[in-house]
A = this chain, B = another copy of it.
Amino acid sequence: MKAEIIAVGTELLLGQVVNTNATFLSEQLASLGIEVYYQTVVGDNPKRLEGLLKLAETRSDLIILCGGLGPTEDDLTKEVVAQHLGESLIQNTEGYKKLLAFFETTQRKMTENNLQQSQIIEGGIPLPNRTGLALGTYYQTEQHAYLLLPGPPSELKPMFVEQARPLLEEKFPSKEKLISKVLRFYGIGESRLVTELKDLIATQINPTIAPYAKPNEVTLRLTVKTKDVHAGNQALQALEEKIQARVGEYFYGYGDNYSLAQAVVDLLKEKGKTVTVAESLTAGAFQSALGDIPGVSTVFSGGFVTYSAETKAKMLGIEPELLEEYGTVSEECAKQMALQARKIVGSDYSVAFTGVAGPDELEGQPAGTVWIAISSEDEVTAKLYHFTKDRSAIRYSAVMQGFDLLRKQLLRKK
């Protein structure tokens, strides 16, 4: 089973958008045992798209097109593919209802163009769009299968995972399966992780180990190709044990989307504890990351953004004398922020951030200087960090470090 991915959009050819859809789809197809031999990007040009379709049919069984399902004149993927297949476009009733409902709820004006979004290729299977309006289509001939997906990753990903993937598994059952397991690490750089596991990475053929660096964390994807799911899982387990024995202290969880914030919220729930936060340079970023986790209200009820010395005094009741004596970027200030926030809110734990986001220095301290304090019923501790890169990276690093500190504190407590 050979597949190729065609992304349609002039914005890709102008370098305005990165083609992350091809990456996502390639990874998904690999896990289905479907081999991707080509990824292509073409502009919003009917003739060139038609040419690519003909070429793709000479070399691939499954042709996946993404982008160009929207409401504008540029969006022509559906029309070109339908014409190429000798089919018409038809309105899909469910999609049309959703379109009408959307414009009614949002009180926006629907235009003629929007009707394109709820059309599919006649004879194809409609793929509902849970996070948007443009329907996808799956269409199969004797020789080829065609999958049309929307361009925005926020629509393409759920549509692929929830609609297209089960369909492909049903239509093209694979004898060999790829089973993957993703291990997530915080506090160790990619090059150091790879060095620690060098011999394992070099000698492992099945399962394989693929390291991947994200800002402030590294993941390892272990992948086994197997006909026997049980044996495959055992091989992954054995490999993971070897890895954990070497770098387990940095490991915090499994899976592609498991965040450090989620790990902290899970631990708080497990232990029946609550947390509050006082943020200076991070200015709400830590609390916002908590707020992204569904059901966080059982462990987090609110906190403070005290960006200036004045609000640190006003909102947290920190003595102006303390701020004058030690400065706001100090161990003393961080600890007082944590203590006061915990006291006011009445939570089990608190985390406080104070430091210099940059680009300019503050109180004679360079950008990247950050104190993070954690307070619990037993103690209050603070640590000093020197983060690098730009303002945004410094703030993000501080937030991640705060989550890691709290996670370790929670793990120490029985």
Contact = CB atoms under 8 A, between A and B. Distances in A.
Interface of A: 10-20, 22-30, 36-43, 45, 48, 55, 70-73, 102, 105-106, 108-109, 111-114, 131, 152, 154, 189-192, 194-195, 198, 201-202, 210-213, 215, 221, 277, 279, 281-288, 290-292, 294, 296-297, 300-308, 310-312, 314-315, 344-345, 357-360, 386, 388-393, 395
A154 B283 contact: no
A156 to B, nearest CB: 13
B30 A15 contact: yes
A294 B395 CA distance: 12
Given A38-B40, A72-B194, A154-B393, A291 B301 contact: no
B192 A111 contact: yes
Contacts of A112: 195
Contact of A345 (B152, B212, B314): B314
Given A14-B30, A314-B345, 5 more contacts: A38-B48, A111-B192, A113-B195, A277-B305, A304-B305
A291 B357 contact: yes
Contacts of A279: 284
Contacts of A359: 294
B287 A291 contact: no
Contacts of A10: 210
B13 A388 contact: no
A275 to B, nearest CB: 11
A386 B103 CA distance: 11
A204 to B, nearest CB: 12
Nearest to A293: B391
B16 A18 contact: no
B310 A306 contact: no
- Which 3 residue pairs spanning A and B have beta carbons closest together? A283-B291, A284-B284, A15-B27
B308 A11 contact: no
A392 B306 CA distance: 24
Nearest to A212: B11
Contact of A39 (B12, B70, B308): B12
B13 A215 contact: no
Contacts of A357: 291
Contacts of A191: 70-72, 111, 113-114
Which interface residue of A17, A102, A307 has the most chain B CB atoms within 10 A? A307
Contacts of A41: 22, 38-40
B305 A297 contact: no
A237 B136 CA distance: 39
